[in-house]
C-alpha cells in the first residue's frame, strides 16, 4: 500500500494498495485479517521434488532484464520430521536465526569503519573484512544459478547486506552438507584463480596470498565462516552468461544454512546483492545499470518469488524513495524514514530518531536477511502502544520469543486490525498488508505484532515486512521503489 500527499483515499482490495492523504486522519484506518486462512498458510509448503528443481532454474528474459525464480527455504528442505513440520518450532528457529543476524549487523556497524562496512575481525593466517553478516541459517530466500563451464546448477541464498559471491568448492577440506554436489573448479573450463597482484585482490582489504593466489576469509558473527581462493568464474542465469565474475571458492566452510533443528544444508553459497563493488550487482555494473528488483513471496504460499536484474526491471508506477549512503557501511541500502503510523495516525515519535548521522550511526536499513523489522526502543514502544490501544477488543496473551504484543485469535475467523504505515522522507507512505505485521507464531491461533526494539539507534526493515511487495533498487540513480506489483 502506498500513498501520495496529493491523492484522496482509494482502496484496491485485491492488490492491498492504498493511496491516502499524508494529513492525519480523523478516524483510524482498519483492514481485515483472515485468521483461519492465515493459519492454513502455516502448513509447510510441499517441498520441491527432484524433477522440479530444474523449473527453479528457469529464467525469463526480455529486453533489458532477466528474471529468476526466488524460493523460500521451506520449499527446498527435504526434512520431513515432525520437528521441521511444526510451525511453532520453525518460528522459534527463525527467530533464533534472526537474533543472530541482527547482532551481527550491529557488530559490523559498531566497528565505525573498515572496508565494506565490516568490523575488523581477527583472522588466522590471512583474511579480509568483507563480511556479509550472513549468520548461521539466516538465509531465507534462494535462487538457482549455473556456476562454471559447463554450468553446474547450485542454490544460492540472496543477501542484500553482502558484498561477496561465494560457493563451496572441491577439494573440500571442511564443508557443510548441501543439496547439490559441491562445485569442482577442476571440471570448469572458465575457472581462473586471481593472482595476489590483481586489482581485484586489492579490493579485498587484508587479503592473503598462498602460492601466488589471492585468498579470502569471511568470518560471521556466530563463529561460522568460509575460507578459500578468490577466482574469476562464469555464472549462468538461464540463457544469460556472465563471464569473469569474481567469486570466493570456499574450501573450508563451517556452519552455513544449518537450522536449529539440524536441517540439511540447502545453499551452496551466497549471492551478495549489497552496494559494494564486489557484490554481484556491483560487478555487473553497466550490464544492468546497477538495477535489480525482487519480490519475496509471502510465507505459506506455494508460489515462487522473483529476482530481476536490469534497467528493464524498474517498474512504472512505483513509489520511489531516495537511497542514502553511509560511507561507514557502503554494503547497506539506507532509506530516509520520517515516522510510523497506526490506524492512519502518525505515532508521536521525532523524525530525528531515524536519522543517519554524519558519523554513520543510526539510520534505516533495508535488509533481506533480517526477518523482523527493528526500531529504536522509543519508536518501537510508541508503535506498539498505539497498536495496543486500537486493538483493545482482541484478547492479549503473554510474550512469545522476541515479541511482546501477542493475541489469542483461535476463536476468530476474521478480525479488523489498524493499518501500520511507514512514512518515508519526501512524502511516500508504505501501508503494510495485515499479514506483514500480525503473524502466526503457532498453528492454533497465537498471533504477534511482528516488530521488535533495537538495542541501538539502527532501524531495520526486515523481510517479513517486505513480503509480497515488489522492491526495486535503482543504484545508478540512487532510489528504491515500492510496488506497484505484488507477488
Q: What is the mean pLDDT of the chain?
A: 81
Q: Do 200 and 346 lie in a common domain?
A: no
What is residue 48's predicted lDDT score, i.e. its pLDDT?
Answer: 54
Q: Which three cell numbers stand for residue 188?
A: 570448469
- Average pLDDT of span 98-122: 61
Q: Do 442 and 385 lie in a common domain?
A: yes
Rounded distance between C-alpha atoms, residue 82 and residue 261, angstroms: 10
Q: Do 435 and 329 lie in a common domain?
A: yes
| Contact of 223 with 123, CB cutoff 8 Å | no
Lowest-pLDDT range of 14-18, 24-28, 51-55, 176-180: 14-18
Q: Which three cell numbers stand for residue 54?
A: 530444474
Residue 9 belongs to a domain: no
Q: What share of the chain is helix, strand, coil (3-state, %, to 5)?
A: 20, 35, 45
Question: Chain centroid to CA 464: how far?
Answer: 9
Residue 454 belongs to a domain: yes
Please confirm, yes or no, whether 159 is among the known catalytic residues. Answer: yes
- Average pLDDT of span 114-126: 30
Q: Do 241 and 382 lie in a common domain?
A: no
Q: Do 252 and 330 lie in a common domain?
A: no
DSSP state of 260: T
| Contact of 202 with 196, CB cutoff 8 Å | no
What is residue 251's predicted lDDT score, i.e. its pLDDT?
Answer: 94
Residue 82 belongs to a domain: no
Structure confidence at residue 291 as a pLDDT band (50, 70, 90): very high
Q: Which three cell numbers stand for residue 213?
A: 593466489
pLDDT of residue 58 exceeding 80, the answer is no
Q: Which three cell numbers stand for residue 73?
A: 527455504
Which residue did the predictor score with more confidence, 484 or 120?
A: 484
Q: Do 280 and 158 lie in a common domain?
A: yes
Rounded distance between C-alpha atoms, residue 411 and residue 405, angstroms: 18
Query: Final residue of a domain: which of 251, 267, 287?
Result: 287
Which residue did the predictor score with more confidence, 128 or 292?
A: 292
What is residue 472's predicted lDDT score, i.e. its pLDDT?
Answer: 96
Which residue did the predictor score with more confidence, 258 or 386?
A: 386
What is residue 255's predicted lDDT score, i.e. its pLDDT?
Answer: 63
Domain that holds residue 190: 140-287
Structure confidence at residue 179 as a pLDDT band (50, 70, 90): confident
Q: Do 361 and 472 lie in a common domain?
A: yes
| Contact of 376 with 457, CB cutoff 8 Å | yes
Q: How many domains does the chain have?
A: 2
Q: How confident is the model over 59-81, as pLDDT tens digits? A: 656 666 789 999 887 776 644 45
Which residue did the predictor score with more confidence, 428 or 27?
A: 428
Q: Do 223 and 334 lie in a common domain?
A: no
* CATH number, position 373: 2.40.70.10
From the candidates 159, 163, 222, 442, which is the catalytic residue?
A: 159
**pTM (2 decimals)?**
0.85
Rounded distance between C-alpha atoms, residue 382 and residue 348, angstroms: 7
Q: Which three cell numbers stand for residue 338?
A: 520520517
Residue 250 belongs to a domain: yes
- Average pLDDT of span 44-67: 58
Question: Chain centroid to CA 420: how far?
Answer: 20
Burial of 124 from C-beta contacts in 10 A (0-12 / 13-18 / 19+): exposed
Query: Final residue of a domain: which of 287, 303, 336?
Result: 287
Residue 74 belongs to a domain: no
Structure confidence at residue 205 as a pLDDT band (50, 70, 90): low
Please confirm, yes or no, whether 29 is among the known catalytic residues. Answer: no
What is residue 403's predicted lDDT score, i.e. its pLDDT?
Answer: 98
* E-assigned strand segments in 303-424: 305-309, 319-324, 333-335, 337-342, 345-346, 364-366, 373-376, 396-397, 406-408, 414-418, 420-424
Q: Do 338 and 479 lie in a common domain?
A: yes
- Which residue, 172, 332, 191, is CA-closest to 265? 172
Residue 24 belongs to a domain: no
- Average pLDDT of span 82-86: 63
pLDDT of residue 50 exceeding 60, the answer is no
What is residue 358's predicted lDDT score, i.e. its pLDDT?
Answer: 92
Residue 97 belongs to a domain: no
Q: Do 270 and 336 lie in a common domain?
A: no
What is residue 208's predicted lDDT score, i.e. its pLDDT?
Answer: 86
| Contact of 305 with 141, CB cutoff 8 Å | yes
Any idea which residue has 550511526 for its cell? Answer: 361
| Contact of 388 with 404, CB cutoff 8 Å | no
Local structure of 96: helix, strand or coil: helix
Structure confidence at residue 105 as a pLDDT band (50, 70, 90): confident
* CB within 8 Å of 455: residues ≥ 6 apart: 106, 377
Burial of 8 from C-beta contacts in 10 A (0-12 / 13-18 / 19+): exposed
Q: Which three cell numbers stand for residue 229?
A: 581462493
pLDDT of residue 120 exceeding 70, the answer is no
* CB within 8 Å of 122: residues ≥ 6 apart: none
From the candidates 129, 135, 222, 367, which is the catalytic residue?
A: 367
Q: Do 276 and 330 lie in a common domain?
A: no
Q: Do 464 and 339 lie in a common domain?
A: yes
β-bridge mates for residue 169, sequence order:
183
Local structure of 195: helix, strand or coil: strand
| Contact of 180 with 160, CB cutoff 8 Å | no
Q: How confident is the model over 371-416, as pLDDT tens digits? A: 999 999 999 999 999 999 999 999 999 999 999 999 999 999 999 9
Q: How confident is the model over 215-257, as pLDDT tens digits? A: 998 876 556 788 999 999 999 998 889 999 999 999 998 865 4
Q: Are strands 364-366 and 420-424 parallel, antiparallel or unpaired?
A: unpaired
Residue 432 belongs to a domain: yes
Amino acid at each position: 500500500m502506498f500513498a501520495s500527499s496529493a491523492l484522496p483515499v482509494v482502496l484496491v482490495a485485491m492488490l492491498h494498495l492504498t493511496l491516502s492523504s499524508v494529513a492525519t486522519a480523523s478516524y483510524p484506518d482498519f483492514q481485515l485479517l483472515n485468521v483461519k486462512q492465515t493459519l492454513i498458510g502455516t502448513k509447510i509448503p510441499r517441498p520441491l521434488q527432484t524433477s522440479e528443481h530444474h523449473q527453479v532454474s528457469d529464467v525469463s528474459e526480455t529486453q533489458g532484464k532477466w528474471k529468476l525464480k526466488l524460493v523460500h527455504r521451506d520449499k527446498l528442505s527435504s526434512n520431513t520430521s515432525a520437528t521441521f513440520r511444526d510451525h511453532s518450532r520453525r518460528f522459534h528457529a527463525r527467530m533464533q536465526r534472526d537474533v543472530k543476524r541482527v547482532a551481527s549487523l550491529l557488530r559490523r556497524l559498531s566497528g565505525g569503519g573498515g572496508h565494506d562496512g565490516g568490523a575488523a575481525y581477527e583472522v588466522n593466517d590471512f583474511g579480509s573484512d568483507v563480511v556479509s553478516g550472513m549468520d548461521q541459517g539466516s538465509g531465507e530466500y534462494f535462487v538457482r544459478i549455473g556456476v562454471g563451464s559447463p554450468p553446474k546448477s547450485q542454490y544460492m541464498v540472496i543477501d542484500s547486506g553482502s558484498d561477496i559471491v561465494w560457493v563451496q568448492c572441491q577439494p573440500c577440506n571442511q564443508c557443510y552438507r548441501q543439496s547439490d554436489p559441491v562445485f569442482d573448479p577442476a571440471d570448469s573450463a572458465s575457472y581462473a584463480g586471481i593472482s595476489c597482484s590483481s586489482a581485484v585482490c586489492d579490493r579485498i582489504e587484508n587479503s592473503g596470498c598462498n602460492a601466488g593466489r589471492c585468498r579470502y576469509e569471511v568470518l560471521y558473527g556466530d563463529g561460522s565462516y568460509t575460507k578459500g581462493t578468490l577466482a574469476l568464474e562464469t555464472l549462468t542465469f538461464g540463457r544469460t552468461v556472465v563471464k569473469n565474475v569474481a567469486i570466493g571458492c570456499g574450501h573450508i566452510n563451517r556452519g552455513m544454512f544449518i537450522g536449529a533443528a539440524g536441517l540439511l544444508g540447502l545453499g551452496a553459497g551466497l549471492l551478495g546483492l549489497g552496494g559494494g563493488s564486489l557484490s554481484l550487482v556491483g560487478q555487473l555494473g553497466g550490464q544492468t545499470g546497477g538495477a535489480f528488483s525482487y519480490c519475496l513471496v509471502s510465507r505459506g504460499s506455494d508460489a515462487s518469488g522473483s529476482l530481476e536484474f536490469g534497467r528493464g526491471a524498474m517498474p512504472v508506477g512505483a513509489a520511489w524513495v531516495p537511497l542514502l549512503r553511509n560511507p561507514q557501511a557502503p554494503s547497506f541500502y539506507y532509506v530516509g524514514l520520517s515516522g510510523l503510523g497506526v490506524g492512519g495516525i502518525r505515532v508521536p515519535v521525532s523524525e530525528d530518531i531515524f536519522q543517519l548521522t554524519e558519523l554513520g550511526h543510526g539510520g534505516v536499513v533495508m535488509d533481506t536477511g533480517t526477518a523482523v523489522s527493528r526500531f529504536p526502543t522509543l519508536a518501537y514502544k510508541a508503535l506498539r502502544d498505539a497498536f495496543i490501544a486500537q486493538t483493545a477488543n482482541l484478547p492479549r496473551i503473554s510474550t512469545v520469543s522476541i515479541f511482546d504484543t501477542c493475541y489469542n485469535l483461535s476463536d476468530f475467523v476474521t478480525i479488523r486490525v489498524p493499518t501500520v504505515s511507514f512514512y518515508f522522507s519526501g512524502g511516500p507512505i508504505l501501508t503494510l498488508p495485515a499479514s506483514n505485521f500480525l503473524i502466526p507464531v503457532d498453528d492454533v491461533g497465537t498471533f504477534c505484532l511482528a516488530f521488535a526494539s533495537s538495542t541501538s539507534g539502527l532501524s531495520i526493515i526486515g523481510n517479513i515486512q517486505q513480503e509480497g511487495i515488489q522492491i526495486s533498487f535503482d543504484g545508478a540513480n540512487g532510489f528504491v521503489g515500492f510496488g506497484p506489483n505484488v507477488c
